[in-house]
Amino acid sequence: MTYNASTPSEYINAVDEGRREAFSKLRDTISENIPADFQEQMCYNMISYVVPHELYPPGYHVDPKVPLGLVAIAAQKNFIALYHMGVYTMPELLDWFVREYPKHCKGKLDMGKSCIRFKKPEEIPYALIAQLMQKVSVDDWVECYESNIKR
């Protein structure tokens, strides 16, 4: 789903009532655990956590006006999505996450390349998400991005 929100608070207020509390808690978990140099903002109609241009002036190679993003969250029609580019580009981080997930959740991991889908809001593994957020610094992400993605 696409929400026409210009701020994270507007986005959360637009999320359906049945998932709003879980979505808000996911945002809080990310905000409280992602390294402080990442900045929360709206990007691509999602709540995103980016490397600000002050720290990485080149920005995202596809559109340099857009800061380099690491994490985004969105309330889709049938699930809450967590997009983490580090999981997509850092094999050791993906391996760690896949290995740890069953320790926190009973259900099967529902995941694409960078998208982790939570169909049941009550089963979001907040403690695991907190750990995931702490694993990638701005410097780690910029180094990975420049060596693996940027062309």
Instruction: Label residue 150 by pLDDT band (50, 70, 90).
Output: low
Is the confidence at residue 130, as pLDDT, over 80?
Answer: yes
Interval 17-52: pLDDT, tens? 999 999 999 999 999 999 999 999 999 999 999 999
Interval 86-96: pLDDT, tens? 999 999 999 99
Rounded mean pLDDT of 104-116?
A: 92
Interval 48-87: pLDDT, tens? 999 999 999 999 988 999 999 999 999 999 999 999 999 9
Domains and CATH numbers, the chain: 8-143 (3.90.1150.200)
Q: What percent of the chain has pLDDT over 90?
A: 91
Residue-level pLDDT at 1: 65
Alpha-carbon gap, residue 89 to 66, rounded angstroms: 19
